[in-house]
Structure 1
Amino acid sequence: MQITKLGHSCLHVVDGTANILIDPGTFSAGFEILTDLTAILVTHEHADHLDLDRLPGVVAANPQAAVYADGGSAPRIEAAGITVTAVKAGDSFDVGTPVVVFGVNHAVIHADLPSVANASYLIGGRLLHPGDSLSVPAVAVEILAVPAAAPWMALKEGVDFYRAVAPKVAFPIHERILANPAMAYGLLEKLGPQTSTWLAPADGAPFDV
């Protein structure tokens, strides 16, 4: 499996015949030029995960790509003229590699704000992209994308999520709100499971797992 982080929570994943784009949001860059995609996955409707200004261009350049999104994002994507399949926890589909959906809701930002749907995706039985959720799936996870910072979490919660999932390999996502991501990365590496390997890939640099 080859993974390229394209900023914040946006990942480009190549696994066998699968060529997948996840969470093309407003804080990310480089996904606009991708071609030969088999699927585009969206975890939830917030703009840092779903850029509705740039997504239509990506879909137009990849007419063969199937688009999957959580129940909150799907109507907004459809309103932009894009064919989309809404997914929920327990769903599974194949886009060149199997994808299983976990999770229900976005993590709570504040009790006064409405809850939105969130889909976590397990790709190829190996890589978990949790979106904006720290819900631990009831399956083994080999590769984990770990949220590093957010209005809905403290770093200690990210550490506990990392420990609870206990993957073989982990790397950070959701860092663009930080002035100094290296500080959070250092603590996640230091406090994470001793059995896990921590990676901190540069944006746009593919790595194999």
Structure 2
Amino acid sequence: MLLTKFTHSCVRFEKAGAVLVIDPGTFSEVEEALEGADTVLITHVHPDHCDVDRVGAALDAAPGVDVHAPAAVVEALADRVTDTGRLHAVTADTEFTAGPFSVATYGGQHALIHPLIPTVDNVGYVIDGAVFHPGDSFTVPHGLTVPTVLVPLHAPWSKTSEVIDFVVATRATRAFPIHEALLSDTGLQLVEHMVTEFSARYGTEFRHLPARESVELASD
């Protein structure tokens, strides 16, 4: 399975001729990531994870694409696509297939930004039992250890100690960064240095993955 990183939280998976994309948001190369896509998974409704205008336009241009996302995302996209039958609401603790990909969902709630800011639904996705995309949450999948975890490096809802604790808790073999668009180059280097150092102490290899770079991963 080929994983390609795009800016911020958008990643693309390719396997057996099928393409699955997670979180094509406003900071990401939406059209490039969605080219040839069969399935789109969205973790939550915030625009840096789902650019509803650009995603809606891409869906209308490619009528065979299915979307799985929390209900709030489905509602937002329903106003922008012609065929709403391709929009599927998902919740945590479910499983489904998307072409050759198996998908399991975890979490359920966005991390707290501030008590005065209401939380929204957030669904993390495990693809083929091999890769975990948590969206905006530090929820750890229960009942399994996922070999590869995508790590939200920086957000209004997190601090670096929590990022490190999340990686340690997953017990993953390897980790790649996501959710880093708000960091300067200097800030990114600093955070990645700390995450790399502490992850290694617990057996996880953290590796910087720039936008548009791909890696091959084993899958079920």
Deviation per CA, 1:119-144, whole angstroms, max 9, x where unpaired? 00000111000000001111211110
Q: State whether structure 2 residue 181 is matched by structure 1 residue 181.
A: no
Letter of the 2:112 counterpart = V
The count of residues paired between Structure 1 and Structure 2 equals 208
Contact 2:25 2:48 in 1 (8 A): yes
Contact 1:16 1:97 in 2 (8 A): no
Following superposition, the deviation at residue 78 of structure 1 comes to: 1.4
What is the 5 A alignment of 1:42-191?
42-81=42-81, 82=84, 83-95=86-98, 96-138=100-142, 139-179=144-184, 180-191=187-198
Q: State whether structure 2 residue 206 is matched by structure 1 residue 198.
A: yes
More helix, by proportion: 2
Structure 1 distance, partners of 2:42, 2:139, is 17
Letter of the 1:181 counterpart = L
Structure 2 distance, partners of 1:205, 1:61, is 26
Q: State whether structure 2 residue 31 is matched by structure 1 residue 32.
A: yes
Structure 2 distance, partners of 1:150, 1:8, is 11
Normalised by the length of structure 1, the TM-score is 0.95
Deviation per CA, 1:31-80, whole angstroms, max 9, x where unpaired? 30343312001000001001012102321343222100012212111122
Which structure 1 residue ranges, 5 or more long, are not aligned?
none
Letter of the 1:32 counterpart = E
Q: CA RMSD in A?
A: 1.3
Following superposition, the deviation at residue 193 of structure 1 comes to: 4.3
Deviation per CA, 1:159-180, whole angstroms, max 9, x where unpaired? 0000000111100100011113
Which structure 2 residue ranges, 5 or more long, are not aligned?
none
Contact 1:17 1:97 in 2 (8 A): no
Normalised by the length of structure 2, the TM-score is 0.90
What secondary structure does 2:76 align onto?
helix
Contact 1:162 1:193 in 2 (8 A): no
Contact 1:32 1:57 in 2 (8 A): no
What secondary structure does 1:112 align onto?
coil
Contact 1:166 1:193 in 2 (8 A): no
Letter of the 1:176 counterpart = A
Structure 2 distance, partners of 1:141, 1:17, is 23
Contact 1:44 1:116 in 2 (8 A): yes
Following superposition, the deviation at residue 11 of structure 1 comes to: 0.4
* Percent of aligned pairs with the same amino acid: 33
